[in-house]
Structure formats: C-alpha cells, structure tokens
Amino acid sequence: MTTTYRAMQVSRPGILELVERATPTPGIGEVLIEVEACGICGADAGDIEGADPTLQPARVPGHEVVGRIAALGEHVPSIWRVGQRVGIGRLGGHCNECSQCRQGNFQLCQNQPFMGASCDGGYAEMMIARASGLVSIPDELSAEEAAPILCAGIATFNALKKSGAQAGDTVAILGIGGLGHMALQYARRMGFRVIAVGRGSDIEQDALDLGAHAYIDANQADAAETLKNMGGAHAIVTTIGVPATVSALMPALAPQGRLILLGAGKDPLPVSTGHLVVGERSLLGSITGTPYENEKTLYFSVLAGVRPRIEVMPFEQANEAYQRMKSGDVKFRMVLTVDRKHNSSSTSDAGSEQEKSAQHP
C-alpha cells in the first residue's frame, strides 16, 4: 500500500485544496477505503462554506462514497473483507450503545459521525470509515451510478416509503433537482400518480422523462390550486428548504395526506394548524436511513432500472465541480472520480497480503 494519498481538503471556507497526506491505519471497528467515486451533494455546501479554519488537518468533504476496502481494523465484522465493494453515505456509522441504537433506530444514533462534516469524507483517494456505516454495492451498478444513490437515492426512497401513499395515489414532488429527479423515478416505479412541481418550463420535459405524469410550473400557475383541481395529493415530498415555497403548496394536501420534509433549514415553517387538524393532515421530517435501508434502495434501483443522471469530473477538479453544483449548472448530480493509476500497483499488492492474512467465514 502507498504511504501517502491525495485529498481535496477545505483549506479555508469555500476553497478546496489538493494535498498529500500520510495513509492512515484503520482503528478498532474501522476500515480503510480506496475511493473510486464520490458524489457532490447540496449538503456539501455547508461543510465547505462553513468549515472551521482552525481545524488541523483541514476537513475533507464528501459523503456519497463508493470504493473498495483496502485494509481492515481490529474487530471488523466478518461480512466485510479486503477488496470488497462498499459505500458510505452521510451517516458515518452508528455506535451500537446509545439509547436510539438500543431501540434499533440506527439512523438516529446520538454518537454517529457525519461524513465530510465531523469526520473526513470522500473527496480523496483514501478514507477511513466505521464498519457499522458500510453499505454493500451491487455489481450491477458502477461506482459513479451508485454514489448519488447513497444520499439522494435513499433520502427520497425512504421518504416515499414513509408517505403513507399506496399504489394509485397521487404523490407530488416539489423541487426537481438532485433529490427530486430521483424521487420522480422511485415514485413512478412504486405505482403512484406522480406530479412534479418546479419553476420554469425548461425542466418540464426532463420531469416527464423521469417519470412524472404531469408537471406544474409554479412560475406560470398557482401550484397548490392546480394540484387541488387534480384531486389533491395524498403525499407531498419536498426536496427544498424554502419555508415560504413549501408552505404555499400545503393547501394541496388531501385529507389524511402527509407532507414529508427533506430540505432542511433553520427558518420556521409557517403551518395552518386548522388545515392540519380538520383534515387530519400531518408533517414528517425524514433523514436518509440505515446502511440496511441503503442497500434496499440500491437493490430496488437495480430491479426497477432507476439510475441517477450524472456528470462526471476527476476529483482533482473538485473546486470546479463544486462551483457548478452550487450554481445549479448540473443535470442532475455531479460525481467525482478517482484515477486508480496514481497508486493502483502498490495498493493491489498490499491488498493481496491483507486478504491472505484476514480471517473470513
């Protein structure tokens, strides 16, 4: 294995810098991952723009990571082996000790790192990860395809499963971007009547191609009134965090309907309590999900033919790729790839030795 690896770290808020670091050794319950691809998520903006300049070494962002296990730490479960394809999303691995873990709510673990925020992420050739956060990657998916599913995919897939809607019900997707374009595909394949709500006519054909039965341009029409005239929505999945926009669509929620919030923000959401009470409507926040749920999302994607629409750039161009994501100049997800030629020969030799010495079932 090479003694060093390259990474794109946040040298100062908003700026990514290519650096070389010493290759780390995985600790107890950890693995070293040789990164193949890492998606760029909208949540990366908070990690990059709000980085702590006093942190040394500086943080490496990225939480949609796919690669192969290069080394195992002590006491890693036997289901993981050197050379295995794995991924890790925003949630960096539950502790198995806190009250939420004891209840099986691993996605709500109180001692869980957030990849790219509270620990280093995947804008790098190598990264350390807790084994409890690992996700097995199906052979049918390339690293570039699988990466966005580990965050945008599971977030929308789980939200739709929690929506309470049944096949044939109307489900509205608010916001047709990195998250929304996955939500449209999943919703269509789950058997819902899918209504896309966005801004501008330029996105209409994309929304229809991705699975929407109809598209509402909020720039041209009252989206809530239009959706009400279509019978209302049994569920609304909102991928944006602008409270006024979300609140404006709530009148279109049918009785006993559910609004699922994916777009997180600090501003309060104006809600008509009467609208909720009289129609027995409800609001629900939804985080991404557990590694097991992530694997279910990946395999559903394989079975149903769901794939993210991506643009690919080398990880050395992370600054440019990140700026394009921020500007909205991507349809629909940006993915960084790592050139294995940089350290493939020495890593491969080390991996072979690791695999010989590891104990597997």
Could you read off the pLDDT of 133-189 as tens digits, one per residue?
Answer: 999 999 999 999 999 999 999 999 999 999 999 999 999 999 999 999 999 999 999
Backbone angles phi, psi at 36, to 5 degrees: -110, -35
Residue 351, pLDDT > 50, answer: no
The architecture of the domain spanning 163-285 is: 3-Layer(aba) Sandwich (3.40)
pLDDT band with cut points at 50, 70 and 90 for residue 358 = very low
52 vs 272: CA distance, rounded Å = 38
**Distance between CA atoms of residues 264 and 148, nearest Å:** 18
pLDDT tier at 340, thresholds 50, 70, 90 = low
| Reported confidence tier of residue 347, pLDDT bands at 50, 70, 90 | very low
Q: Does 3.90.180.10 match the CATH number of domain 4-152+289-357?
A: yes
Q: Which amino acid type is present at position 10?
A: V
Please report which confidence band the pLDDT of residue 352 belongs to, taking 50, 70 and 90 as the band edges: very low
Mean pLDDT to the nearest integer, 23-42: 97
Contact between 192 and 167 under an 8 Å Cβ cutoff? The reply is yes
Tell me the mean pLDDT in the region 38-55: 91
61 vs 346, more confident? 61
Q: What is the pLDDT of residues 273-316, one digit of tens each?
A: 999 999 999 999 999 999 999 999 999 999 999 999 999 999 99
User: What per-residue confidence (pLDDT) applies to 174?
Assistant: 97
Answering whether pTM is above 0.85, one says: yes
pLDDT 10s digits, 184-241: 999 999 999 999 999 999 999 999 999 999 999 999 999 999 999 999 999 999 999 8
| Per-residue confidence (pLDDT) for residue 341, from 0 to 100 | 65
Cβ neighbours of residue 246 closer than 8 Å, sequence gap 6 or more: 174, 238, 240, 259, 261, 263, 269
Residues of the chain with CATH 3.90.180.10: 4-152+289-357
Where are the CATH 3.40.50.720 domain residues in the chain? 163-285
